[in-house]
Amino acid sequence: MKEQLNDLVKRASEEAKKITNESEYLNIKSKYLGKKSELNTYMSNIKNMNSDDKKLYGPLFNKLKKEFDNLFTKYYEESLNKNEIITFDPTLPVKEVDGSLHPVTIVARDVTNILKKMGFMVLDGPEMESEYFNFEALNIPATHPARDMQDTYWLDNGLLLRTHTSPVQARAMQKYGAPIKMCVPGRCFRNEDLDASHENTFFQLEGMVIDENISISNILYVMKGMLREVFKQDIEVRLRPGFFPFVEPGFELDCSCTICGGKGCPTCKDTGWIELCPCGMIHPNVFEESGIDSKVYSGFAFGLGLTRLAMMKYKINDIRYLNSSDLRHLSQFNIR
Ligand code: FA5
């Protein structure tokens, strides 16, 4: 019996090494541990053994059962890891797939390409942000009423979900200094009452230029050029005063609502205009906080609402479609 068992162990170990997929794993389990397996036949014969053999072989059979099971599982799991390495080759070209890029991705790509041609570098920043960069470095101390304008998701770890892409202004100033031209597309979060033009998760694109002798006319030039390129036509915009503690003076740039052609509809709350891209000249306090001499340098910044830009470009009348993952809606853009 001992020889037979040794031979059984040898065969099972050899075969276990050859497992490459799930069906081989199941087959070998059934062959060596199933009802009709050799081991099971020996076990059912135990009743015919003398009491000494029963004491010896009973525990031995059970031990073997466990060992086989562990062995087969071990080689099966190893085969899974090997398959993963073999089947995922990140250097292969992407296969053609049905569907299209998300409309927000399309406009983000359009705008960053336009800005890159104007010499802007494209930066990134954390979505989980510190209170310092989201507010304090932007001239919004803890007691400032402007904090109420952005109902914030605070996290247990003391950080927050950034309410705008403006924190990257301060991060970029502190990392690269001046002069600088940069833009930052990214996701933002606010505890909003949802409606046709407000989501709790939306995209902005921050832009910032710092150099000597930068003025409001530079803002207007970049804004108009950027929007003309995105819409492929001149689009009606208006500039009105706007308050943001990190710019002085500050403006709201609105575009004529493309859903109703400026007549008024639920998307633009019957005003005919969509708030799209607030902007302004960077406040001296922001420069000083990030180590830039405001007597030498001036600059402008803007915070383009990318999700709203996608709505205006593709005439999507409700922002909630964009986060809904409804492929009937999203796949119609057919741009890759
Ligand atoms: C800001 O977030 C400022 N950080 C923008 C800025 C940057 C001003 C640089 C001056 C200089 P505001 O809260 O208005 O501003 O948001 C900017 C744009 O983001 C809005 O015009 C709008 O297009 C978009 N936006 C804001 N909240 C939402 C929301 N809940 N859903 C969708 N889009 C939004």
* pLDDT for residue 147: 92
Q: Which atom of ligand 1 is nearest to the CA of 275?
A: 21
Two structure tokens written together for 107: 């406009």
The whole-angstrom separation of Cα 94 and Cα 104 is 21
- C-beta 169 within 6 A of ligand 1: no
Residue of the CA atom closest to atom 2 of ligand 1: 164
* pLDDT for residue 20: 87
301 backbone dihedrals φ, ψ, rounded to 5°: -140, 155
322 close to 103: Cβ distance less than 8 angstroms: yes
The whole-angstrom separation of Cα 265 and Cα 252 is 20
Which residues of the chain register pLDDT less than 70?
82-88, 95-98, 334-336
- C-beta 140 within 6 A of ligand 1: no
Q: How many residues does the structure list for the chain? A: 336
**Which residue has 């033009």 as its token pair?**
197
* pLDDT for residue 113: 96
pTM for this predicted structure: 0.74
- C-beta 259 within 6 A of ligand 1: no
**pLDDT digit string (tens) for 242-282?**
999 999 999 999 999 999 999 999 999 999 999 999 999 99
251 backbone dihedrals φ, ψ, rounded to 5°: -135, 155
* pLDDT for residue 334: 67
Q: Which atom of ligand 1 is nearest to the CA of 282?
A: 11
**Which residue has 């029963």 as its token pair?**
54
- Nearest one of 120, 102, 118, 114 to 227, comparing CA atoms: 114
The whole-angstrom separation of Cα 307 and Cα 205 is 10
- Nearest one of 323, 321, 317 to 266, comparing CA atoms: 317
257 close to 237: Cβ distance less than 8 angstroms: no
- C-beta 276 within 6 A of ligand 1: yes
Q: Which atom of ligand 1 is nearest to the CA of 302?
A: 9
- C-beta 301 within 6 A of ligand 1: yes
Tell me the three state secondary structure of residue 292. coil
**pLDDT digit string (tens) for 44-98?**
888 899 999 889 999 999 999 999 999 999 998 888 776 555 556 778 777 666 6
Q: Which residue of 140, 151, 153, 164 sits with most ligand 1 atoms within 8 Å of its CB, as the best mutation to test the pocket?
A: 164
How far apart are the CA of 303 and the centre of ligand 1, in A?
6
CA 204 to chain centre: 14
Q: Which atom of ligand 1 is nearest to the CA of 300?
A: 11
How far apart are the CA of 168 and the centre of ligand 1, in A?
14
- Nearest one of 115, 111, 300 to 208, comparing CA atoms: 300
19 close to 83: Cβ distance less than 8 angstroms: no
**DSSP states of 138-163:** GT--TT-GGGGGS---B-TTS-EE-S
Q: Which atom of ligand 1 is nearest to the CA of 207?
A: 9
* pLDDT for residue 88: 63
* CA distance to 205, 293, 310, 317, per residue, from 321 (Å): 20, 45, 11, 9
